């Protein structure tokens, strides 16, 4: 008996977590998927009627704006964060004496809550008292910077704040990557008189392809889940101008009481995330098991 117990203890220790994940992750996904196929409004109903919620979703101009914003925000956020992160990593890699201090400064925003980041940038970008008034104070009386309240540009303020928060993290990833490139190859290239720019563009950066991929995955994942930043910075406004799928889902679930719509939008978000993450995780896990 005690031998049997001893043999099965590992499974029994893992079981609660496994059951919890099965239930609260996969079970819940099934539940949300199911409800997204019903006519649920304020309360969930369970008779499947087909894809009407998705039809409503794709017909909704607000969802359209949210998906467009996700595309604009996601693309700019990822590209700028990666470019800035790579630039900072290369600059820091030049045997800079104050590297430790600078790294700490570049990365600290990552320790902040997005609500804090949003609050800070909301104040800085405030048209009346923020940057606009600073630059006007320097003599440029006609300077205008009202992106925060301008429906056509408000989404770019989310990009500004998002990049500020995440680029230091990309820098840390890339810096670790730069440091892991074989020193011997670089030394050999230097001996051969190859200019530094070429060494980076032809040797070091291509060898960091996997790090580009993981930086991309992490940033894309952050972009799709972005919720707090928009809430704190613009509240989704002006109007719906800066809505993202995450804020749309929340609004329909908790303020509009439209569970069917909320469920279908959540399912679309999940599919977007999985389209990006699943191939990546699959290849990672396979590589590990071989």
d(C-alpha 253, C-alpha 45), whole Å: 14
Among 52-60, 68-76, 182-190, 272-280, which window interacts with other proteins (CB under 8 A)? Answer: 272-280
Segment 217 to 246, residues that bind other proteins, using CB under 8 A: 217-218, 221, 224-225, 227-228, 231-232, 235, 245-246
Q: With contact defined as beta carbons under 8 Å apart, do 70 and 158 qualify?
A: no
Encoded one letter per residue, x for contact with other proteins by CB under 8 A and - for no contact, window 87-126 reads: -x--xx-x-x-x---x-xxxxxxxxxxxxxx-xxxxxx-x
Task: Tell me the site size for other proteins, rule CB under 8 A.
Answer: 98
Q: Is residue 44 near other proteins by the rule CB under 8 A? A: yes
Query: Is 270 within 8 Å of 210 (Cβ atoms)?
Result: no
Q: Does 259 bind other proteins (CB under 8 A)?
A: yes
Q: Determine the Cα–Cα distance for residues 230 and 269; give it in Å rounded to an integer.
A: 16
Instruction: Report in angstroms how near the CB of residue 185 gets to other proteins at its nearest.
Output: 21
Q: Which helix (H) or strand (E) holds 79?
A: helix 61-92
Which one of residues 48, 75, 134, 202 is an interface residue with other proteins (CB under 8 A)?
134
173 contacts other proteins (rule: CB under 8 A): yes
Counting every residue written for the chain, the total comes to 290
Q: Does 254 bind other proteins (CB under 8 A)?
A: yes
CB 171 to other proteins: min, Å: 9
Closest distance to other proteins from the beta carbon of 140 (Å): 14
Write a three-state SS string for 244-280. Answer: CHHHHHHHHHHHCCCHHHHHHHHHHHHHHHHHHHHHH
**Which is closer to other proteins, CB of 133 or CB of 184?**
133
Q: For the CB of residue 175, give the shortest distance to other proteins in the complex, in Å.
A: 10
Under rule CB under 8 A, residue 48 binds other proteins = no
Q: Does 21 help bind other proteins (rule: CB under 8 A)?
A: yes
Count the Cβ atoms, other than its own, within 10 Å of residue 78: 22
Q: Near other proteins by CB under 8 A, which window of 5-13, 47-55, 63-71, 181-189? A: 5-13
Which backbone phi and psi does 40 adopt, to 5 degrees? -55, 135
Q: How far is CA 154 from CA 131, 159, 237, in A?
A: 15, 9, 8
Handedness of CA 189, 194, 195, 199 (dihedral sign): negative
Q: What is the nearest approach in angstroms of other proteins to the Cβ of residue 288?
A: 9
- Looking at the Cβ atoms of 65 and 265, the one nearer to other proteins is 265
Measured between alpha carbons, how far is 57 from 245 in angstroms, rounded to an integer? 11
Question: Rounded to an integer, what distance in angstroms lies between the CA atom of residue 88 and that of residue 215?
Answer: 14
* 133 touches other proteins by CB under 8 A: yes
Residues 151-170 close enough to bind other proteins by CB under 8 A = 164, 168-169
Q: What is the DSSP letter of 23?
A: I
């Amino acid at each position: 008996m005690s031998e049997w117990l001893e043999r099965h203890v590992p499974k029994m220790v893992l079981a609660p977590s496994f059951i919890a994940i099965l239930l609260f992750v996969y079970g819940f996904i099934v539940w949300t998927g199911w409800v997204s196929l019903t006519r649920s409004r304020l309360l969930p109903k369970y008779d499947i009627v087909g894809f009407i919620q998705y039809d409503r979703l794709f017909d909704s101009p607000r969802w359209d704006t949210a998906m467009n914003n996700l595309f604009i925000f996601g693309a700019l956020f990822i590209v700028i964060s990666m470019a800035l992160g790579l630039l900072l990593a290369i600059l820091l890699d030049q045997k800079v004496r104050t590297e430790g201090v600078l790294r700490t400064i570049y990365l600290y925003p990552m320790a902040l809550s997005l609500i804090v980041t949003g609050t800070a940038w909301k104040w800085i970008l405030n048209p009346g008292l923020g940057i606009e008034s600073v630059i006007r104070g320097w003599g440029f009386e006609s300077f205008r910077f009202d992106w925060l309240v301008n429906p056509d540009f408000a989404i770019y303020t989310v990009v500004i704040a998002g990049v500020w928060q995440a680029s230091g993290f990309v820098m840390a990833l890339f810096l670790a990557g730069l440091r892991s490139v074989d020193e011997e190859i670089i030394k050999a290239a230097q001996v051969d008189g190859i200019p530094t720019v070429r060494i980076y563009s032809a040797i070091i950066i291509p060898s960091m392809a996997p790090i580009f991929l993981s930086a991309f995955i992490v940033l894309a994942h952050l972009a799709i889940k972005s919720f707090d930043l928009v809430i704190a910075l613009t509240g989704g406004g002006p109007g719906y101008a800066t809505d993202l799928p995450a804020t749309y889902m929340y609004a329909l679930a908790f303020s509009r009481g439209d569970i069917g719509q909320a469920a279908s939008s959540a399912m679309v978000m999940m599919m977007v995330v999985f389209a990006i993450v699943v191939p990546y995780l699959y290849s990672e896990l396979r590589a590990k098991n071989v």
